[in-house]
Amino acid sequence: MSLPPLASGPDGPSALRPLLATVLDALHEGARARGGPLPAGGPTAVAARVRDAVGDVLPEKGDPDAVRALVRALAEGAADPADPLCAAHLHCPPLAVATAADLAASSLNPSLDSWDQAPAASELETLVTHALAQEVYADTGAPQAKTATALVTTGGTEANQLALLLAREAHGTVRLVCGANAHHSLTRAAWLLALPQPVVLPTPRGTLDPAALHAALTDLVGPRGPVLVAATAGTTDAGLIDPLPALADLCAAHGARLHIDAAYGGGLLFSDRHRALLTGLERAHTVTLDLHKLGWQPVAAGLLAVRDPHDLHALHHRADYLNADDDTDAGLPDLLGRSLRTTRRPDILKIAVTLKTLGRTGLGTLVDEVCTLAQEFADLLAAHPAFELHAPPTISTVLFRPTGASDDTVAAVRRTLLNDGRAVLGRARLDGRLWLKATLLNPHTRPGDLAALLNLVEGSTPR
């Protein structure tokens, strides 16, 4: 009996080559069969097609055609963020070069829990996380900026969890204070870590109000224990940026620790034109970044930048088979304290390849491009009598609604477009009303696509 070929080793590349050709053909066929941003027919129709294509999940005898059939089915049933009309979430179209690098990561399969599973990948991670932490903290000029580091995470959720954990370990306990505009993963992390009940401040204007934070900190800090303030640079719903310098001043004055969730806005660091929006970011103890949003990476590509590397002592952990003391003393790098995970993919490879292939200028251009698109879309909406624009965009999110529509109509329009597979828009509740949300992350989108999107929405709105 012949055994299936392996992806690495001397024969790996030649075993992969024909399979890749099959995969690429299947991707192409699937996308053609879909013919739009989303498969048509809604969940029931999509599920039926997937069940048909899959058949027996674990047949008695294997099927060599499975890779073609399943990749084709997945592509046909995909929400494609590379389609200009797929603009609901912070769900970016990945760069081809990053995806190609990710293939190498899968093929080599390094695991970042010990040096002897990832000799080069662990050094690459050290270099790239250091460089990204400098992007966040270099402007401070403070001596600690040079030693700032970053942990690789599965995304903003894990980065926020780690930020709360590091804060708790630094202070014994900590109470989270954040705005109602903060990402849900923050209060969930407080629950996971059994922290005191978070204080969630109302954000009627969409961002955390310094006066409200001042009042909360006056009430909380000292008598009720240490506080971690979590601010947001790029809210998930509206792309708004909290007033970071004012919030950082308040934290400093009250002795509160500051975390900034820049899962969305962090990508602005690459843009000369937009970087100033993040002024104050460098004053946070920890910063969440998420390069599978404004970084055009395949999932997952999260990071937590940590200003003071001493904070990482909390993650120190010993497992004899991975980082025995005598191995560490003999010079083998100890990787276990860089994550709560054990086996860990080298997500850093695609990030490193992207940073070096595009350079700061190339990445900054992509950021500028999507911000400009958002501005153009907002201009279209503002000039269009059938639509109401929520506000000019801060990053690349635009909220709008058909003029005079009820919330139920807004929700129904979104579902109609989803069901037809013609456009993928998000939804957000702001100022007490429901809005359609366009999150523009596709730098290849053209103004004509945005006009087509508006036509579709208008055509799907009952009068």
Ligand X SMILES: *Cc1c(COP(=O)(O)O)cnc(C)c1O
Q: Note the residues at the interface with ligand X (CB under 6 A).
A: 90, 155-157, 160, 183, 185, 232, 234, 236, 261, 263-264, 290, 302
Which residues partner with 227 through β-bridges?
Answer: 175
What is the Cα–Cα distance from 450 to 310, expressed in whole angstroms?
48
> By beta-carbon distance, which residue lies closest to ligand X?
155
Q: SS in 3 state form for 112-142?
A: CCCHHHCHHHHHHHHHHHHHHHHHHHHHHCC
**Least distance CB 201 / ligand X (angstroms):** 16
Pairing of strands 175-179, 227-232: parallel
**Least distance CB 428 / ligand X (angstroms):** 12
Structure-token pair, residue 338: 């860089």
263/456 with CB nearer ligand X? 263
**Least distance CB 255 / ligand X (angstroms):** 25
**Least distance CB 222 / ligand X (angstroms):** 29
**Least distance CB 381 / ligand X (angstroms):** 22
**Least distance CB 236 / ligand X (angstroms):** 4
Closest alpha carbon to 430 in 389, 460, 461, 463: 389
What is the Cα–Cα distance from 131 to 128, expressed in whole angstroms?
5
Encoded amino acid at 118, one letter: A
233/352 with CB nearer ligand X? 233
**Least distance CB 199 / ligand X (angstroms):** 18
Quick check: 439 and 89 in contact, CB under 8 A? yes
State how far Cα 300 lies from the chain centre: 8
DSSP structure class, residue 81: T
160/460 with CB nearer ligand X? 160
**Least distance CB 61 / ligand X (angstroms):** 39
Which residues partner with 280 through β-bridges?
Answer: none
16/304 with CB nearer ligand X? 304
76/347 with CB nearer ligand X? 347
3-state secondary structure of 233: strand
68/89 with CB nearer ligand X? 89
149/439 with CB nearer ligand X? 439
Q: Is 428 exposed, middle or buried (0-12, 13-18, 19+ CB in 10 A)?
A: middle
Write out the DSSP string of 142-186: -GGGGG-EEEEESSHHHHHHHHHHHHHHHHSS-EEEEETTS-HHH
351/380 with CB nearer ligand X? 351
Q: CA geometry: angle at 34 spanning 33 and 37, to 5°?
A: 155
Quick check: 346 and 103 in contact, CB under 8 A? no
